[in-house]
Chains A and B, each alone.
Chain A
Amino acid sequence: MNLNMNSVESLVAQIQGLSGNIGELTQLRNYLKQCDDLLRTESTRLAPLLTELDPSVHSLGYLYILEACTSATVSKDQANELVLSVARFINVCAADQIRLAPEKFISICKRLKEQVVLLEDPMRGVAPLLTSIRKLQSSTEQLTTLHPDFLLLCLMSKCYKTGLSVLEDDVFEVDQPRDLFLYCYYGGMICIGQKKFRKALELLHNVVTAPMPIISAIAVEAFKKYILVSLIHLGQFATSFPKYTSSAAQRNLKNFSQSYLDLVNSYSTGKVSDVENYVQNNKDKFESDNNLGLVKQVVSSMYKRNIQRLTQTYLTLSLQDIANTVQLNSAKEAEMHVLQMIQEGDIYATINQKDGMVRFLEDPEQYKTCEMIERLDFSIQRIMMLSKKVTTMNEVMSCDPSYLGKVGRERQRFDYDDFDTVPSKFNL
């Protein structure tokens, strides 16, 4: 290819000429790669060129030029302009074109995120980043580097619901462990914000038990939140790790979260006053970890847990007795707690205000409705899908040359049984 490397004008011509089919685009990408240095040096002169290109048609070329433009440091006014232009590009660009140069695309998205954070207006980044994630990923199972950034912006702008839309996808493919850790950590926080504790627990669990050679600050913080959410949602915390947890995590995590483990201990006694005292004494510690709010939820979950336990034991119980057993100050307070729990569907009960009695009922669910059958069916379908996935993965794994190479080598070294019926040491 005979190209005039010095001319930006010819560059534009090339872009306009080579944006048709996939073959041309690959050619264009190679060309643009060669021009990368030129683009860097000429970055200040490039801005006008963008007007000559149509971002929806010439996405690849537009991306390269835009990336070069935005790589320079910018002032606050320009930042505003930059955010606008990048956001516009993200909205209209063609997904198949930008996927040819994912690193460039990620780079402009990161730039966008940086700028909106600097502008202290994280909300502006949420929508563009969501679009860019959707355009970048080849399937919803893929975790992109943009996921954590997006979730962080959601957190900062308190757009939890938007964040949840991404979290609902099952993620299986991961490029960078760090991305996954941050994705799960931020995702966990968003779920906590939405009180979706089960999902939060799952995400945080993934961080804590993920294979890791050394523990990271992300894992430590996730572990702390994991303990607290586990107390709120399950009412207990099993201090032993599952056996697939990395040894680094098993050895070290507990050392970094002693005050949380102590909280677990005092929680397990079931005495509200103990827990309250403990929290009061260690308030600074929890506050400096930014977990005080969550800790307070732990304390209030305790009343709930205790009342729930009563439903297992009693059919009717006076409000006064409830107040006494769960250490509430008055029957009135007990009534409020019970009422709230009935509203949230945690218990099934009726309050008889005349006698001051609460009547606990059984779970009215009879598992006879169509919805229930549908739910079951959905569950079965999902598990079938997952099990297919495992089979496929197993097949892929058993064909993976590097895996086979490793297994083959080890077998040769250690497994003499394949060749000899008698262990080798007796042959000598």
Chain B
Amino acid sequence: MESEDYASGAVIGEEEIYANGRDESDPQRHRPIISSEQLDIEAYAALYTGRTKTMRLLFIADKCGIPSMELEALRMAYEEIKKGEDTQLFREIIGKINGRLGPNYALDNAWADAVDRRAESRKEKLENELNAYRTNLIKESIRMGYNDFGDFFYAHGRLGEAFKNYIRTRDYCTTSKHISHMCLNAILVSIEMGQFTHVTSYVGKAEQAVDGLDPVTIAKLRCAAGLSHLEGKKYKLAARKFLEVGPELGNNYTEIIAPQDVATYGSLCALASFDRSELKSKVIDNTNFRNFLELVPEIRELINDFYTSHYASCLEYLGNLKTNLLLDIHLHEHVETLYEQIRNKALIQYTLPFVSVDLNMMANAFNTSVTGLEKELEALITNDQIQARIDSHNKILYARHADQRNGTFQRALQTGNEFDRELRSMLLRANLIKHDYNLKGPRKY
């Protein structure tokens, strides 16, 4: 990925040096970025590099709805873009800023033109080089040529072209390293474009085609697979993938995802889709994942609260995190669904050990009103997720123990009746078919 870093971060800012230079082995030094306070944009942005930083900032500016925050995000995005070569994006953001940040952040035509001119000449140069390689039929050089083209287009924000060029290198890959490089490039651009089907297929290709993947690449692929499952609303699969991400990831994949995100995405998906034992074995006892959880203490607390049944505090943490999670470029669409599933899980687990539950106390534990709780429970009982019945008069929830013996009798009788009915209509149909066949064949009567 060195080429990307080179292209997008022509000038490496102070923050990035800080971000990149952090020692992976010392995660304690990370500040909790995802917390209940209002998002600290600067710290947040420092977690990322490359295009995703700009895109995330723009996303925040779009969604936050707080003017000061929006301008802050736009300002940082402006600076970020200026470091790159994407003049198209530059013009867009100027439109968005709309002069609100003073003359320093106005349309800089001179810069844009200069970049465009440089881009033009660079493109020509690349074309000439590539043509030369192709006439000479040197495989490795052709691959490099296409790769350079991909990098070039990527830096200029022409993602479709970039994707095409990265894919073209495929025919000229000779070593497994090349293939994994090609796949990672393709994944990067696809995620940027939101084409998650491509992501899945290239993750698959990378995992199949290459035998000796280095741990960092494996971790990257897991992240990408997790993201694509998340996008496809397959939360359980997404959780598994995120939980498998190795500690080697560190800050090596900041052009896509920060380790904090791995913790957040993985935990929320796990909470929403795992049962209690799975949560214990795969999340809480997972030493690998614990490293990630340390980065976001609030999430760690929340998982522990959930597991130790302190639902009120767990839900409170969740509630506090919500506004910030809604500003996440990948997670925002799924926050509502995940929250609902987590809440339902909590409700189900709360009722599980009891024969009867006082609804008033339960409402307290979940920080809600009795009537609201009653409605939620009703929905869960109707969907057969809680075996209980509500005593609406005394506001008590009684667990319902299905009488096995009665149930068996009932089922046996019902099955018998159904079988009887099915068999009779089958015999009738057989008779009709026979009759039909006899008509077609030689007439007997």
Contacts and interface: CB of A to CB of B under 8 A. Distances in A.
Interface of A: 170-177, 180, 202, 205-206, 209-211, 213, 244, 309, 312-318, 321, 355, 357, 359-360, 363, 365-367, 372, 375-376, 379-380, 382-383, 386-387, 389-390, 393, 397, 402-403, 406
Given A180-B432, A316-B394, A206 B382 contact: no
B160 interface: no
Contacts of B430: 393
Nearest to B392: A317
Contacts of A205: 425
A380 B438 CA distance: 34
Contact of B425 (A202, A314, A315): A202
Residue from B417, B432, B438, B442 whose CB has the most chain A CB atoms within 10 Å = B432
Contact of B428 (A174, A375, A403): A174
A216 to B, nearest CB: 13
A174 B392 contact: no
Contact of A386 (B390, B406, B420): B420
B167 to A, nearest CB: 41
Contact of B382 (A313, A360, A367, A393): A313
B432 A210 contact: yes
B423 A390 contact: yes
Contacts of A376: 409, 412-413, 416
6 contacts: A180-B428, A206-B425, A321-B392, A360-B389, A367-B409, A393-B430
B420 A211 contact: no
A380 B416 contact: yes
A257 B378 CA distance: 35
Interface in B415-438: 416-417, 419-421, 423-438
B441 A314 contact: no
Contacts of B417: 379
A363 B403 CA distance: 11
A314 B390 contact: yes
B391 interface: yes
A410 to B, nearest CB: 13
A379 to B, nearest CB: 4
Contact of B424 (A180, A386, A403): A386
A413 to B, nearest CB: 18
A309 B382 contact: yes
Contact of A367 (B405, B424, B437): B405
Given A210-B432, A359-B393, 20 more contacts: A171-B428, A172-B431, A180-B432, A202-B421, A209-B425, A211-B432, A314-B390, A314-B391, A315-B389, A315-B391, A316-B392, A355-B393, A357-B393, A360-B389, A363-B406, A367-B405, A383-B420, A386-B423, A402-B438, A402-B442
Interface in B70-103: none
Residue from B398, B426, B435 whose CB has the most chain A CB atoms within 10 Å = B435
A390 B427 contact: yes
A364 to B, nearest CB: 10
A48 B389 CA distance: 79
Contacts of A244: 426, 429
Contacts of A211: 429, 432-433, 436
B381 interface: yes
A379 B433 contact: no
B378 A313 contact: yes
What are the 6 A-B residue pairs with the smallest beta carbon separation, nearest first? A367-B409, A316-B393, A315-B391, A379-B416, A315-B389, A313-B381
Interface of B: 377-378, 381-382, 389-394, 398, 405-406, 409-410, 412-413, 416-417, 419-421, 423-438, 441-442
A180 B427 CA distance: 13
Chain B interface, >50% SS class: helix
Residue from A315, A365, A366 whose CB has the most chain B CB atoms within 10 Å = A315
A366 B421 CA distance: 25
Given A314-B391, A355-B393, A357-B393, A382 B428 contact: no
Contacts of A317: 390, 392-393
A247 to B, nearest CB: 14
Contacts of A213: 436
Contacts of A316: 391-394
Contacts of B424: 170, 172, 386
Given A313-B378, A316-B391, A402-B441, A172 B427 contact: yes
B429 A210 contact: yes
A156 to B, nearest CB: 26
Nearest to A375: B413
B436 A382 contact: no
A318 B427 contact: no
A357 B429 CA distance: 51
Contacts of B431: 172-174
A54 B280 CA distance: 93
Nearest to B380: A313
A318 B374 CA distance: 14
A314 B416 contact: no
B348 to A, nearest CB: 15
B85 to A, nearest CB: 55
Contacts of B436: 177, 211, 213
A223 B100 CA distance: 68
A41 to B, nearest CB: 28
A205 B418 CA distance: 13
A173 B434 CA distance: 10
A311 B390 CA distance: 10
Nearest to B444: A402
B382 A177 contact: no
Contact of B390 (A202, A313, A367): A313
A367 B407 CA distance: 10
A314 B406 contact: no
A173 B430 CA distance: 10
A33 to B, nearest CB: 15
Contacts of A387: 423
Contacts of B432: 174, 177, 180, 210-211
Nearest to A174: B431
Contacts of A360: 389
Contacts of A389: 427
Contacts of B391: 314-316
Nearest to B438: A402
A258 B387 CA distance: 38
A283 B279 CA distance: 55
B359 to A, nearest CB: 12
B405 to A, nearest CB: 7
Nearest to A201: B421
Contacts of B390: 313-315, 317
Contacts of B437: 402-403, 406
A360 B392 CA distance: 11
Contacts of B442: 402
Nearest to A405: B441
Residue from B412, B421, B425 whose CB has the most chain A CB atoms within 10 Å = B425
Nearest to B433: A211
Nearest to B397: A315
Contacts of A206: 425, 428
A175 B435 CA distance: 7
B413 A318 contact: no
Nearest to B439: A177
